[in-house]
Amino acid sequence: MSYSLFGYLILAQGNRLEQMGRGMRAARERVQLVDLWPMALALLVIIVGVTAYKAWKKRNDFREKCNNPKKLFRELCAIHELNVSQRLLLSSLAEACEFDQPAQVFLVPSVFEYNVPAKLSSKADQLRALRTQLF
């Protein structure tokens, strides 16, 4: 079939295509503000999502050098593959020992046994297990 015959067949169907659109609404001349709300909302959701993702990636990017004690603590916990409960226990131990930086618990093995604060005495077994895992 040649292209000219194919084009003629498509143009011959024009009347049928014209009738298909007769029941549709007529197009408005001006765009109303109500029509733009869904697009604006979708754009806002995308912007907030991308911003939150970038902030989360920057917070957990351990390749960048920084002077943030909490980030150093998170990085050391990640390197030692500690779970959330172990991280919380180490953080509370550092807080109870009144360290300047929470990462100091990785440097002082004696805090796990001898200097266990009273509020952490119930978790002494977990602290000893952490000590053997870390040191």
Structure confidence by residue, pLDDT tens digits, 42-93? 999 999 999 999 998 887 776 767 678 888 898 899 889 999 999 999 998 8
Same domain, 57 and 78: no
Residues 86 and 126 in one domain: yes
Residues 49 and 83 in one domain: no
Q: What CA–CA distance (Å, rounded) separates 59 from 85?
A: 20
In a domain, 52, yes or no: yes
Same domain, 81 and 120: yes
pLDDT at position 63 is 72
Statement to judge: residues 52 and 105 lie in one domain: no
Contacts of 130 (CB under 8 A, 6+ apart): 82, 86, 89, 90, 112
pLDDT at 1 over 60: no
- Residue 26 maps to a domain: no
> Domain count of the chain?
2
Q: Do 103 and 57 share a structural domain? A: no
Asked, for residue 3, whether it belongs to a domain, the answer is no
Where do runs of H (alpha helix) occur along the chain?
Answer: 3-12, 14-20, 33-59, 69-79, 84-96, 124-134
Q: What is the mean pLDDT of residues 19-37?
A: 73
Decide if 104 is inside a domain: yes
Range of the domain at 54: 35-62
Cβ pair 109, 131 in contact under 8 A:
yes
